[in-house]
Amino acid sequence: MKQLLFKTVIFSIIFLLLLFFIDKKYYRLKNEPFINSVMSLEDAPKDSYEIVFFGSSHLYRGIEPAIIKAKTGINNTVVHGGGTHLGNVYYDIIESLKYHSPKLIVIETWPLYSPSPINNNFLKDGKMTPVKASTLYGKKPGFNKLEQAFITYGKETPYHFLNTFIFHENWKNLTKWKKDIDQSSKLTAEEIYYKRPKKYDILDIDKVEKYTNFKFKNNQIYLSSTEKTYLDKINKLAQKNNFSLLFITVPVYKEYTSQTVEGYRRVQNELKEYIKPYPNMSIWSSKITPENIDRTYIINERKINSNQHLNNKGTTIISCELADYILEKYPQLEKKNGSPKFVEEFIYKTPNQKPDDLNSVVHKLNYINDPSKNDLIYIDRSDKVLKISGCFFNKKIDNKSAKKFVILKRDDNFALIFDRLFKGDYTRVTKEFGEAFSHSTYSKTIDLDLLLDGNYEIIHVLESNEKKYFYEYTGYKIKIE
């Protein structure tokens, strides 16, 4: 009997250790952005992030960490959960402190402004409201994850504590599991997150009328006692770990803001009162007034409700503006220079001059709306779209597998990066350079509503498999007016 009990205990220990190993190594899906964002904390070298952002999908779509890094030189990352509340943010901050010693924690305030009861009263009878896209599943097994799981799920904690159980459907869907493991072995969580697809769609005109006629309520937009309790908890973490707190607000669609302005002011005033005694806390809002956030800044949301997100036009403007604020407000943050890891770093840091032969690419621009191809091409907004086609390559790298970018850069506060390029006409290219370079052609159609007025440089960039960048300022400029 004792022998059987001993074997059972040993087997149970081995089984649990195996589950922990599988859970940590293979069962946190990096392709899920909310899981991936948490995993970026442990994937990065210890104490490498000076800034960590926390929030919901509004943060995910509203702030581009690569732009913050490019313009400030400060290492940063984003941790977000879809529809998250301040309780989850608290546990996410604790998780980040296990791996890093950030000097600045940034909290995006949609969880405070959201009219949803899930946000205002997320703690009832000692139990925290669960959210579907929870950062809980990005954490590896440990005390912090156990506490968050227990306060959220109670008796169901074991099921949610180990991803092996909660994502049991992957036991059968081995193709998805293998794909995720393959990608995870090639890229870090940070690389996957930073290189996530950019959103260049625009809110449809027919939905504008629906938003205008939709009745939004602001009486549920307030700073609840539960939220204040967790603000206190977060502040205690700040005092103990010596970091500053910055609250930022990513703007939403003007039709929603105009109807809920009283609720926004209510929360803003309460938050201002809350931070008054604490010199380590600050609030930032964009200089873009809410009434200027029209449909061209917003993705084409599927549902008409209080939840709207910025497209890459809005994200770029807000991120650049916030980066300038961080540089001015927090000059003590450590800046780390080095070779660019992401195309945003490369574009915002590189001087506007022709590169040397080592970095240059062979390029041709075939068409930019106006086929005359003068040095400065005028594009009228009545054209609706900007059509660009051409080719570019570098003879010293594998061009077929290299990633291509076409960049329209107005200035150091606005540059749009396009990487989803269609293959263009390669007849002339193969005739001049050979069949090996037929895949180097591209064509891209860009909605002019995504571009601000002004002069733009056109830049071609190649990213090789070895993550080296090769680039060329094409010499052509366009003027949009």
Are residues 206 and 158 located together in one domain of the fold? yes
- The answer to whether residue 344 sits within a structural domain is no
Show the tokens assigned to 89: 């943010």
pLDDT at residue 431 is higher than 60: yes
- Region 352-360: what's the mean pLDDT? 48
Q: Please tell me the distance from the alpha carbon of residue 193 to that of residue 35, in angstroms, as a whole number.
A: 10
Q: How confident is the model at residue 178 (pLDDT cuts 50, 70, 90)?
A: low
| CATH number, domain with residue 126 | 3.40.50.1110
What pLDDT score was predicted for residue 356?
A: 45
Are residues 298 and 187 located together in one domain of the fold? yes
Q: Please tell me the distance from the alpha carbon of residue 369 to that of residue 292, in angstroms, as a whole number.
A: 28
Q: Please tell me the distance from the alpha carbon of residue 52 to that of residue 48, in angstroms, as a whole number.
A: 10
What pLDDT score was predicted for residue 354?
A: 47
pLDDT at residue 99 is higher than 80: yes
Are residues 322 and 444 located together in one domain of the fold? no
pLDDT at residue 350 is higher than 70: no
What pLDDT digit, counting tens, does each position of 147-163 carry?
Answer: 999 999 998 888 888 77
Are residues 374 and 286 located together in one domain of the fold? no
What pLDDT digit, counting tens, does each position of 43-56 carry?
Answer: 889 999 999 999 99
Are residues 89 and 210 located together in one domain of the fold? yes
Looking at 137-146, 161-170, 268-277, 413-422, which range is the least confident one? 161-170
The total of structural domains in the chain comes to 2
Select the more confidently predicted residue: 224 or 337: 224
What pLDDT score was predicted for residue 231?
A: 96
Q: Please tell me the distance from the alpha carbon of residue 347 to that of residue 417, in angstroms, as a whole number.
A: 9
What pTM value is reported for the model?
Answer: 0.90
pLDDT at residue 357 is higher than 60: no
Which among 125, 121, 131, 128 has a CA at the least distance from the CA of 151? 128
Are residues 397 and 456 located together in one domain of the fold? yes
What pLDDT digit, counting tens, does each position of 101-158 carry?
Answer: 999 999 999 999 988 878 888 988 889 998 887 899 888 888 999 999 999 999 888 8
Average model confidence (pLDDT) for the chain?
84
Domain containing 196: what range? 2-329
The beta-carbon contacts of 334-342 under 8 Å, at least 24 apart in sequence, are 334/50, 334/74, 334/103, 335/72, 335/73, 335/74, 336/73, 336/74, 336/75, 337/73, 340/70, 340/469, 341/191, 341/194, 341/467, 342/66, 342/69, 342/70, 342/194, 342/195
What pLDDT score was predicted for residue 353?
A: 44
Which among 355, 234, 135, 329 has a CA at the least distance from the CA of 346? 355
What pLDDT digit, counting tens, does each position of 285-310 carry?
Answer: 998 888 889 999 999 988 888 889 99
Show the tokens assigned to 197: 């697809």
- Region 188-193: what's the mean pLDDT? 77
Are residues 324 and 355 located together in one domain of the fold? no
- The answer to whether residue 312 sits within a structural domain is yes
Show the tokens assigned to 401: 């597998």
What pLDDT score was predicted for residue 173?
A: 63
Helix, strand or coil for residue 165? helix
Identify any residues that bridge with 411 across adjacent strands, giving them in sequence order: 414
| CATH number, domain with residue 419 | 2.60.40.10
